[in-house]
Structure 1
Amino acid sequence: MTQSTESSAGTIWLSKGAFDKLTAELEHLKGPRRQEVVSAISAARDEGDLKENGGYHAAREEQGKLEGEIVKLEQVLLKADTTVPSDDDAVAPGKVVTYKFDGDDDDEAETFLLASIEMKPYAGDLDVYSPQAPIGAALTGAKVGDAVEFEGPTGRAIKVHVLKAVPFQD
């Protein structure tokens, strides 16, 4: 499912590559992996007394975890937005954002990907901040050159300057 990056707050921005990998993972979990667990349960059940059968109980626990992971992945993919963000100077989900703290004399710029945490395994060395995180919420919609202030985790006001906002490339 692809929607505009400006759709509801429940939308999760994923790159097309991440979407494809998560789809393949879901297919694996629902197919071969699910069959492995069902086979393990069946084999353990054939051993007899289920009350004292540790293998059976372990396999059933594994089945519960697997089904939970399947539901989670289905929800992520259902909410996924793979729209490539526009190549303007505005900060939006799917953009790699470079900023500098106000008054930071060491000229050290910080860079992150504005996306949901599900993008973390696919973002390389980039930190990933969600649009709901304080810095993500504050910077969303800001343009290159803007100074934005937000409340940090300690309650202190933090001011940053947007230096760059470019679409993420897989």
Structure 2
Amino acid sequence: MKQIPMTVRGAEQLKQELEHLKNIRRPEIIKAIAEAREHGDLKENAEYHAAREQQGFCEGRIQEIESKLSNCQIIDVTKLSNNGKVVFGATVVLLNVDTDEEVTYQIVGDDEADIKQGLISVNSPIARGLVAKEVDDIVKIQTPGGIIEFEIIEVKYK
């Protein structure tokens, strides 16, 4: 199986979610199933069926997280020597050549991506266009609105 790149922060968030699901959510669901069973006939018992459905979702998510964590490659960008190249985990400050607008993105794994937080997936068109480039390079990125030219102003490994 292919290794999934992940930042240290992304792996930590998944570990916290996994711990919450196993130690808090799973016992809550088991308790809800036990209480619903006490209400009698399980065929007509909506609470029982809802709790069993939640249990299925919870167990599925636990398996998904465990799989991701066992197949991830945690990359700590702060331990890399900053040679000015855009790599996974780097934070890149870009200047839109047409609008003079500055944007900052960190290149992260798929699970961590959140455009509102400036976190873009390594598999996104912008990240693919930036990786291996360096400061002062001009990159042309195909976006839904057309091609946008960016100048790489700064690359941070933080």
Specify the TM-score bucket, using the shorter chain as the normaliser.
0.7 to 0.9
Gaps of 5+ in 2: none
Q: Name the counterpart of 1:37.
A: 29
| Alignment partners' CA distance in 2, 1:20 and 1:116 | 13
Q: Name the counterpart of 1:53.
A: 45
Shift of 1:28: 2.6
| Alignment partners' CA distance in 2, 1:102 and 1:32 | 50
Opposite residue 141 of structure 1, the aligned amino acid is A
Name whichever structure is richer in strand by fraction.
2
Shift of 1:163: 0.9
| Alignment partners' CA distance in 2, 1:166 and 1:78 | 28
| Alignment partners' CA distance in 1, 2:147 and 2:125 | 11
RMSD of aligned Cα (Å): 2.2
Query: 1:23-81: CA deviations, max 9, x gaps?
Result: 13212312332122112112211221011111101101111121122122223322333
Q: Name the counterpart of 1:93.
A: 88
Name whichever structure is richer in helix by fraction.
2
Count the aligned residue pairs. 154
Gaps of 5+ in 1: 1-7
Is contact 1:29–1:66 with CA below 8 Å preserved after alignment? yes
| Alignment partners' CA distance in 1, 2:59 and 2:128 | 33
Opposite residue 150 of structure 1, the aligned amino acid is I
Question: Which of 54, 57, 66 is the equivalent residue of 2:58?
Answer: 66
Overall identity of the aligned pairs, in %: 31
Q: Name the counterpart of 1:115.
A: 108
Q: Name the counterpart of 1:4.
A: none
TM-score between both structures, scaled by the size of structure 1: 0.79
